[in-house]
Structure 1
């Protein structure tokens, strides 16, 4: 980051100082309090005897305070309150107590080792609680009606000036770098303004910020007080973090004096558990801020924090809604066909304007697509390489030159950047913002180091002194762009996701088209195959019919006898095969056959060949089973042989009942041929004939089994096989 500001000889002459001394100052254990109140330190155990104190206890409370039980000194039972206390919590006594000449409010705190009791004097003309509550309600309502955060903070400054009576009230917001800026102010006419002035982070050290979250109100009635030490002497190390009367750091007191402040108060603005800012109250002369007023101020600060969150969330919601509207309009185009550079080229103006960027660029391995105000292509490639070198993760920054190093083109055109790597495309999408030279008005020179106090302790860290000047100091800052909002960064992430999803959809559509084309080609080939197969089956069926005709002629010529019987059996086997090819020729489906219909037709042909006597006795019980064509031929041949055997042997050549059953059990089928004849005996054949050997071969080819069982009377043959080839 380039910083230009006036150079002064006195600045150069300043010796280096350790500016972390303030951060290490033990402000939580100062060992003293502000003298306008009193402090009692009591034991946690027993009757809570007072072991130490601070302030003019003898004059304002009682002379024999040391060693007394706490209840004796404050005149109230503290046991129930103490039981509810834990480290960091406090309790307010419901009733004030009387001192020698004044009345005090009582606040109890519990540290890790002691009970701490604060006594603060009550003002005689204190506002009633009812009036305070009514006023707080009215102010809270005005906060709710504020249209934006600027108006809200201005109303808060005016309300706190009314509540506290201080000459100046500032609403001070912390920035990301720890510095702060006055965003609202209400002041007396004679005071100079600090509105929009910045204060460096070193003005409020780290440990002070931690205490601002823990102890949310702080008052210094006068910066010129003499601290009241803890007594007895040597009683040190007590943690006073929660004590409102805690002695203030001498460096901070001098800081206030250098500002011309006689009294101050601060109220923390804590939003979502984080210190958002402070309500800083300054007065020219001494001014008290009593405990009841501080309580009202803390209550109002909580209402202010809630309204700040509400206003910020409302502004963020409006911005998100606007961005979403643009996104929704872009979404269909981000998923269009074409290359990624073509998609970006078609949408670049909308993408750039959507995030209020000055330039937009897509950097790929062999192409740069730029729009708006962008640095040269070589610089864009260098930025993309820098992004990839850092893990290829999304990056958002408003000060890219400081991260990359000083480069003129980067400084001018790309001080701000949102980078979205697109890994699937080996590309980087960049939103760019040009440099915006900032003029920051500081309350004093933030670069001038604190000095040392004069005297023998000049080189002692304890003698470090705060800056003395708060005169307006103007600084020119280069190398920065307008900040990206969180909503804009989130929108860039969504655009990245939409681009990824769009490219995936394009790929899917391309794959679907390719798949559809392949399927159509396959369907065409299958249709051609079906035509060819039907033609083949037709010709095979014609050939088989021709052979069957020859067999019938040969059987007639041979006359009665064994030769004619063998020719008839061959004719039946040939008919079983021919029937399959006839069905394939007629049906649209060539890969599979409905086995029940095939068996029904096959048995019908057998009835014709066996004669009318057998036709009356053949019965069918067939379940629909779809089997591959080649397996249907084997099953048909097996069935033919079983029927031939039954007609030859079951009833000694006569006709008789013959039942054919087809069943399906899961992925297996069962074919049953059962008769009521004389069963399997010597006259049933020796199983060595051609038909028996053929059946064994067919069953093995089907990976099945063929079993014979006593049908009582008769014989039952059961063939079991998988429906499809295993």
Structure 2
């Protein structure tokens, strides 16, 4: 790209900076093809090397090279050793006409490129530079934090090279860079803590910084030297040390007042993680040996940074694994996903460095950490309709949310959503609030078109004074470690959910088989009673049989309908209205004693207790608890019902004499399908749904049902709020 060519947003990131056709003036360049024929040379090669070169296309054994045997030997030997490996480089010291040069050889994928940099008399001895680098390496090894590593690196590189300013950049997820460490001359303006936009380093420059980790510019104002080639194809200088500088970058450095610069890449995992940037206010040639010492130092720096990052990654993965194991144990042995999530919500937020959590299971929703129930519901509706790929969504910008959701969710805009079931209905969402931040940019970060020194073009910033901007609507982005943890958790939830669904399916099949058997008996009784009535049998004798059998069938069918609603995610229909809970308790107790002579129920309750409840559902809950106590309590011992009230809640307990329930059975007390409840001799006509439905009724009122043991009593305790509050209102 020439100085006069227009540079715009369409071609700035595509400027072919790896084939500039020029080199910097402090060195000379020759290139040879596979047959060791001269394929390219810089315009200054003859003058700098002090002898006439043969024409392009001449062999390395041409007469003009005869007086240069040690140089041609080095080039020929390197050509054999390189084996066509792009980027492979070697350095040697050569003498040409009494002058000492650093000969830097590399293979660019097609040609052997030889670069010559004359070594000044003061720089002839390389050993002190190596010794100085070794001292810096030792100081680097002593550091235990990334910030300390970077600060030591900039101090040592400035001491080694003599630059006026040396800075360490650390790049963010959006490729912008923060200056996190600096060492500079006292009279030079410090740039520490400023941020520079991603556009300061275009994509193609980033690629070169990764494959060629050290970039040196000796004199920003020097005229570039043309490179002549034997063919039409330009010389690829991706790995060259003398590659000339883009006109845009020249303007950039000039606007900063920089006359010489050097950058050393910090590459981790094949990505440009950071950079050491060096500035000098006057032209300066840094000898190749010193530059290589800096490059070695940067490689050790990158290795140490990678070690610290890996240690932090391993620590977080280990902590996350512990939380995941505990969650899975609770999930597998518990009553549904939300029941498992509740005790681990705070730990999950800590694991993901999140401030809030939203989760859904069927029609029920759980929120934790300050996000509102309404915002959680709106977020879940959007997730179910948007269907993110692979069931995972990570975002951190409020502007990317639909306006309605953005308004409902504010100030939450960091979203990490994990789909937890195959139909993408159930979700676990971690949330972060916006991070209001004042950014100290090194000048305005936006690129603008204006007339520059070479015509109308996209001119780099003319001022690098601090330009402050308050950034809103952006949360701290989710890191690669957090996304890895999220995928692992999602996979575990899918596996555990699949295993749970398979077990539920097996239990359901078993229950349906028992149901078929249990329905057959009352149907046979009704059929036989009908035949007896047809033959003139006494209705007073036959009628009660029909009534008992039909009541038994009705209870089985009612339980199945409730189960179907709950398993389908519809929930139980609960309509709280003011009712006398004390009267409901006494009526339930009386019905048990009338229906089962010999069973005693003792009631301790106030004369009246007005509570907003669904009377029919509460009566169903009481019947299930009393039936459970009657079937499993010791014969001849009374059932004790106790009703108490406080300012905020009422407590109802149903106790029967019995040994404690074994631990292995407690985990599944409130499950829908319990194999131990089927074909139970203590309850031959039941399917084990009573406690499950009773628990759901309590939850439907915004309350709880728990098991306790107070010797010699097995006790089931129901708590209900004094104010009408369905579970959906508290958690959806």
Structure 1 pair 515/433, CA: closer, same or farther in 2 (3 Å)? same
Structure 1 pair 494/507, CA: closer, same or farther in 2 (3 Å)? same
- CA–CA distance in 1 between the matches of 2:422 and 2:232? 68
Residues 290-339 of structure 1: per-residue CA shift (max 9 Å, x gap): 11122222222221111111010011122222323333444432333323
Q: Is the 8 A contact 2:8 2:458 kept in 1?
A: no
Q: For the aligned residues, what is the CA RMSD?
A: 3.4
Structure 1 pair 60/495, CA: closer, same or farther in 2 (3 Å)? closer
Q: 1:438 maps to what in 2? A: 437
1:36 aligns with 2:33: no
Q: TM-score if structure 2 supplies the norm length?
A: 0.62
1:226 aligns with 2:223: yes
Q: Is the 8 A contact 1:103 1:122 kept in 2?
A: yes
- CA–CA distance in 2 between the matches of 1:70 and 1:111? 25
1:53 aligns with 2:42: yes
Mapping 1:411-430, distance limit 5 Å? 412-423=410-421, 426-430=425-429
Once the two structures are TM-superposed, the CA of residue 224 in structure 1 deviates from its matched residue by: 1.2
Once the two structures are TM-superposed, the CA of residue 464 in structure 1 deviates from its matched residue by: 4.2
Q: Is the 8 A contact 1:213 1:268 kept in 2?
A: yes
Once the two structures are TM-superposed, the CA of residue 219 in structure 1 deviates from its matched residue by: 1.2
Q: 1:343 maps to what in 2? A: 340
Structure 1 pair 148/396, CA: closer, same or farther in 2 (3 Å)? farther
1:471 aligns with 2:468: no
- CA–CA distance in 1 between the matches of 2:116 and 2:311? 43
Q: Secondary structure at the match of 1:270?
A: strand
Q: 1:95 maps to what in 2? A: 93
1:371 equivalent among 364, 368, 372: 368
Q: Secondary structure at the match of 1:94?
A: strand
1:245 aligns with 2:235: no
Once the two structures are TM-superposed, the CA of residue 103 in structure 1 deviates from its matched residue by: 1.6
Q: 1:201 maps to what in 2? A: 198
Once the two structures are TM-superposed, the CA of residue 120 in structure 1 deviates from its matched residue by: 0.4
Q: Is the 8 A contact 2:40 2:227 kept in 1?
A: no
Say which is worse superposed, 127-136 or 258-267, in terms of deviation: 127-136
Q: 2:271 maps to what in 1? A: 274
Mapping 1:304-315, distance limit 5 Å? 304-315=301-312
- CA–CA distance in 1 between the matches of 2:459 and 2:349? 50
Q: Is the 8 A contact 2:12 2:202 kept in 1?
A: yes
Once the two structures are TM-superposed, the CA of residue 193 in structure 1 deviates from its matched residue by: 2.2
Find the structure with the greater CA-based Rg.
Answer: 1
Q: 2:729 maps to what in 1? A: none
Q: TM-score if structure 1 supplies the norm length?
A: 0.62
Q: Secondary structure at the match of 2:333?
A: coil
Once the two structures are TM-superposed, the CA of residue 282 in structure 1 deviates from its matched residue by: 0.5
- CA–CA distance in 2 between the matches of 1:519 and 1:234? 85
Q: Is the 8 A contact 2:440 2:468 kept in 1?
A: yes
Once the two structures are TM-superposed, the CA of residue 497 in structure 1 deviates from its matched residue by: 4.2
Q: 1:62 maps to what in 2? A: 51
Once the two structures are TM-superposed, the CA of residue 23 in structure 1 deviates from its matched residue by: 1.8
1:485 aligns with 2:475: no
Structure 1 pair 59/338, CA: closer, same or farther in 2 (3 Å)? closer
Once the two structures are TM-superposed, the CA of residue 259 in structure 1 deviates from its matched residue by: 0.6
Q: Secondary structure at the match of 1:125?
A: helix
Structure 1 pair 81/480, CA: closer, same or farther in 2 (3 Å)? same
Q: Is the 8 A contact 1:401 1:410 kept in 2?
A: no
Mapping 1:609-628, distance limit 5 Å? none
Q: Is the 8 A contact 2:447 2:460 kept in 1?
A: no
- CA–CA distance in 2 between the matches of 1:241 and 1:332? 55
Q: Is the 8 A contact 1:65 1:73 kept in 2?
A: no
Gaps of 5+ in 1: 1-15, 525-726
Q: 1:717 maps to what in 2? A: none
Q: Secondary structure at the match of 1:171?
A: strand
- CA–CA distance in 2 between the matches of 1:99 and 1:202? 45
Structure 1 pair 507/127, CA: closer, same or farther in 2 (3 Å)? same
